[in-house]
Every structure is written in structure tokens, then in C-alpha cells.
Amino acid sequence: MKKSLLPGKVNLAAIGIICCLILVLGGAFALYHFKGRAITVQDVSAASKISGLKFNQKEKKMMLEDLQTNLKSFQEMREISLENSVAPALVFNPLPSGFDFSRLREENEFLLDERGEVSLPENLEDLAFYPVTDLAWLIKHRRIGSEFLTRLYLQRLKKYGPKLRCLVTLTEELALEQAARADRELAAGIYRGPLHGIPYGLKDLFATRDYPTTWGSPIFKEQQLDVNSTVYEKLTEAGAVLVAKLSMGELAWGDIWFGGQTRNPWDPEQGSSGSSAGSASATAAGLVAFAVGTETWGSIVSPSTRCGTSGLRPTFGRVSRYGAMALSWSMDKIGPIARSAEDLALIFKYLVGPDGKDRTVYDLPFSYNSRQELKKIRIGYLKEAFDRARNNREKYLGVLDVLTSLGLEPVEIKLPSIDPNIISFILNAEAAAAFDELTRTDQDDLMVRQGRNAWPNVFRQVRFIPAVEYIQANRIRTLLIEDMARILKDIDVYVTPSAGPNLLLTNLTGHPAVVVPCGFDDSGHPLSISFIGNLFEEGKALRLARAYQEATGWHLKHPDLSRLDRMEDGSEAVK
């Protein structure tokens, strides 16, 4: 055995070999410990099972290096801060092939009936339940002032807001300032239109620079965004007066927020349902003249049903979502909640149109003619939905009787054969992306609602939805859009009970819905019916809903709040 050429000194050849071993082993060690152990064949097997896929042993081994590379990319992506306001570079398009824009532009017309003289009630407190159309007439003709009306609503918000748990922030200072300006302008001959001086509320996901925007969560309770939402800016320009930021289900799910469960004014032991909970509750209780909410999957329709209000969920791409919390970029929609379909049309006119900030908004006119001949509206009805309504079925069928009495002939239509529930995870996947950081930092543990049927669990489990399946779901969504275009080719509006598969389907396809009360169940809780329109044709659905309301008068009912008078704030548990 040869001795070292440098006895007593370091053997350079040995060092080289040792260094190579260190590099190889170090690389393997680093690979193993990169954000956890290295991905193995067993990991691929388990993940494949979750996705319902099968690969052989050779295929699994071949994936390992690329899967590890993907994981490294994921980790590096997570180092980049993504605010909720950052939208993905993919924009949802609800239009079927061959969609005709020219016809919509040609139909550009907005016509409301001239209001006759409106009388003041003996008890001025009753003004709280007047529709916007009546309040607008009274303000325009200076029978009441905006400041008087604003103080009336502020007083009611202070009295009933905490009991209904619908009030997050009273914007009193701002409201009185805006109301005083409205009165000064009117005295100087400046009238901004029907919303001039009208007090309203915003769902607390719309940014207002001078007040918190909490998104209903204790995590964001102190959040104050340095922007104004486009909705707020447009309503301010129209002369409306913001009196309150209203409660919403935490991160836009349900009616439970960090202040408790928002109550239904018709039955305070019942929640007001849907994430626009405070907007519907406050409007029904006469705490605001109208409110603005949002819908992703029923969050305008559901609380409007529960609280007996009128609500408009517009076509996807109608109203800018700039400054509004994002939940699902391809499904979120903004619309008004008010006392009548006519109010909805009036308010919506001031919300529509692009602002250069939300790329999903189409530059198309909103057409509405309150005098449009009803017989020119082609109407359908969803027979399977009426048949499925076991409870209160006769009340829903009564809607068809009323429409027939108006000279209309509803024809039966059927929904597409594809079950929309199989792709409902689109919403959850986008929501998990919108609040990704909460999951990765364990802040989701701070949310009000925990358990299987709550956001924290949903955010976690949808991390296992394959990207391919998310894309495939949206391709199926395209099929639904095309199917709906064929079904509605000869129909302008169709009628259906508000719950059921139609609600998810039309939220996925982007179709507008007008929901209005249609009576009460045996327990005195409001019921509702929905009028579904073609894309960007909210006006026809609103016209039909208005005709129904004039023939029935259900929208004129309002809850008796005497039970609230006997309650302490939050003293009775909501069931």
C-alpha cells in the first residue's frame, strides 16, 4: 500500500472524494428537508387517490423530480404578497357564442312613471317604510329635507340596529354632512336625481376611506382601507347619503359575523340568512331607504326572501367590484335591496357601467320601461321547481295565476340536464385563493364559525382540488352557458320559486334575477318568487316583477318591530 506523497499533510485526493460525497448527500438532505421531506411514490399514490386517478409505479417515479420542482415554485410564489384586491389574469365571460350586443345598445331606454303627489303620513316615523320613489318626490318638492330624513334613519339604526345585529358602523358624521350638502344644493336649484338626499346602507365589504371595512370577521375588525369603492363613489355622485355599514356573514357566508347572528325583523328568533344579511334586515326594518349587497351563490336572493324585501342580482359584469371584497372573481355580483322592483330599477341605473378598474364590467346600457306592454314580454316558468316545492306550493302556483290574470301565458321550460352542483367547487377554490394567507398562517382559527360546514375547513379541503379539474369545471360551465342560451332563445323572463338548483345554475352562468315577496307561510315568514332574465336584460325582469307587485301588494307589508322594543340588545339567543 502506497504511503501518502504528503505524509503528515492533508491528502488532496481524499478531500476531493469527501467533498463530492458531501455535495451529493447534502443535496439529498436539502431535497428531503425542503419545506418537509422529499415527495415519494407513496405520496403520489395518496394524492392520486384523493383525485380519483391511477398511475403505475414507473409513472409515479417519473413524476417525482417535477413534483418537487412544482413544490419549490409554490413556496416561492407564497413569498409574493397578494392583497385581496388583486384579481387573477383570467376573466370570466358569461356570453354564449354569437351573443348580439347591437340589439342591447339599440334598446337603450330608461323610463319611470311620473310620480303623482305623495302625501306625508300622520306619523312621520312611517316615512321609514316609504319606497325610494316616494321619498324622492318628497325631497325634490321640498316637503321634507334630507337632513330630517337622515336623522330619522340614524335614530332607528341606533334603536334597532343592535337588536337586529345588522349594524356594524354608524356613519353619522358623514351622513349628516352629506345630507346637509344635499339640502343646500336643492335650495340652490341643484338636483342630482331621484337618489338626491336618500339615506342608504352598504354591506360591510365595500371600502369607504373614512370608516372600517370589516368583512364580518374579527380578523379584519380594525381594517380601514385607503380607497373608496366604486359603488360608494357612484352613489355619492348621485347624491345618496350613507348612514351605515351593515352586517354580513363572515367573509360572505351566511348571517353570522363577529357581532353575532343578524336577525330577521319578521321573526327575531330567526337569522336573516345569506351574507347580505344586514342589508336585507335593515331595509325590511325601515332602518335605511335601501341598501347595496352582493351575491355569489344566493346572498341577495336568500336574505331578501327571508326578510321580505325586493332584491336584484344583476348580470355578471354589470357593476364594478372595485373596492369590494373579492370572494369569487368569476361569480361575485353587486346589486340593490329595496322595497319594490321600481326602486331596484331606479337605484340600479346609478350603479351600472365600467370605471376602468374592474375589467369584467361591460359598457352596455341598462334599459327599463315601466310602461312596456306586458304581452310583449315572453314568459316561461320552471315547472319542475314548482312541482318540487312541497311546502307552500299553492302560494307559488298563485304567482302563475296572477301572471295569467295579467294577460300573460307562461310556457314550461326545463333547466339544462347537467347538474350544476358537480362544479360548485369553483366558488370554493376561488374563495380559498382569495384568503389563501389565512389558511397558511393559521389565522383561520380566529374566524367565528368553525367546523365542517364553515370557511376554515372549506379553505383547507379545496387545496386538494387539481388545477386540471378546476379548468374542466369551467369548461362544463361553458356548456351550461350555451345550454341556457338555447333554452332562453324564445323567452325573455322565466319565473321560479327562489330556492333550488336554479339559484346555483344562474349564478354560475351569470344570469340576472329579481326576487320579490309573494306572501307568507303559515308561521308568518315571508316567501319569495324569482324572475330570471336574459343576460343584461334586467329591465324586462324588473318590469314583470313590478306588474306582479302592483297586482298583489305583498311588497307593501312590513314587520311589526314591537317585539324588538321589548328586547334587550342581544338578550335573546337566536335559534
Instruction: From the candidates 60, 146, 163, 203, give the one annotated as an active-site residue.
Output: 203
Instruction: State the DSSP code for 126.
Output: G
CB-CB contact of 301 with 274 (8 Å): yes
Instruction: From the candidates 229, 275, 340, 528, give the one annotated as an active-site residue.
Output: 275
DSSP 130-195: S-HHHHHHHHHTTSS-HHHHHHHHHHHHHHHHHHHT-EEEE-HHHHHHHHHHHHHHHHTT----TT
Distance CA 532, CA 307 (A): 20
CB-CB contact of 572 with 565 (8 Å): no
Amino acid at 395: K
203 flagged as catalytic: yes
CA angle at residue 509 from 303 to 380, to 5 degrees? 80
Distance CA 527, CA 151 (A): 32
CB-CB contact of 422 with 429 (8 Å): no
Pull the grid cell for residue 354. 365600467
Distance CA 403, CA 497 (A): 14
CA distances from 123 to 64, 287, 306, 399, 504 (A): 76, 16, 27, 33, 43
Pull the grid cell for residue 219. 380578523
H or E stretch at 244? strand 241-246
273 flagged as catalytic: no
Instruction: From the candidates 229, 279, 299, 530, give the one annotated as an active-site residue.
Output: 299
217 flagged as catalytic: no
Residues that are catalytic: 203, 275, 299
